[in-house]
Structure 1
Amino acid sequence: MRTAYRALASLIALAVVLQVASIALAGFTIAGDAEDGVTIGADYSNFGQSYHSIAGTAIGLVALVFLIVSFLTDVPRGRMLAAIVLGLVVVQFLLAVVSFGLPALGVLHGINGLAIAGVAGAASRRASTTTPAATSV
């Protein structure tokens, strides 16, 4: 189960990196389309935006599975780190929803995304180390 824990934590961190890339793609696509005379309105969408939305939902589901797996492993502070990741993902969703009405909060959405990647990365590293009980055998 430690391997599953580490894999899920790593997957979340990688997924956040892809989220950053997809929203950058979305922004540059919007700028390019606007420069080309495309009307950017409520019905406008591009691949980066669509991917960002769908992948964000997937990260939420993986974070929930990650928390469940954390109860089945002996990773030191593993449950706490998984709970923090899930909590940050919930905050991320709320920031996304609120940011459509108050765009300046989008800055916090970006910063919180990096926090998710950081905590998930720390959880993955923690799962990579051996426990004191395992070394005394």
Structure 2
Amino acid sequence: MTQLLLSYTTLSFLLVSTAPIERSNSETPIETTVCAVSSEPSKFEGRLLEIRAQFESDGIERSVLTDKDCINFGIAPLSPKRYVGESALTKALSKGHPGTLDKTIIGTFIGKFSWHPDQIPNRTLSLQEVRNVSVVMK
């Protein structure tokens, strides 16, 4: 009986601790682009954004959301422990070699935007959800 209770408690803990973080439905994300945010970052500070972008990574520690219409700008995605759609992005990144040198990953990224002009990276998106992830191998 004690072993059964311990197993149930352990299973309950695992289910709760691995559940994705869901964003609050009280705030509707602003649909925008990397280019729009990069041109007026203070306008989007602290706001929940929905951005369709290309995800680029060196496969080690650096990642950035980019847009082909403004190639000199990007937004650094910050990943919490868990977020909705994490497995789809992880699966896309695991294809081929680490990083995105051999693939193009595009998706919709939802999260809170932060603008810190005196820091690097100065534009960040704290991810709450990733969806519509697609991968094209080069």
Which structure's relative contact order is higher, taking Cα pairs within 8 Å and 6+ residues apart? 1
In proportion to residue count, which structure has more helix? 1
TM-score normalised according to structure 2 size:
0.29
TM-score using structure 1 length: 0.29
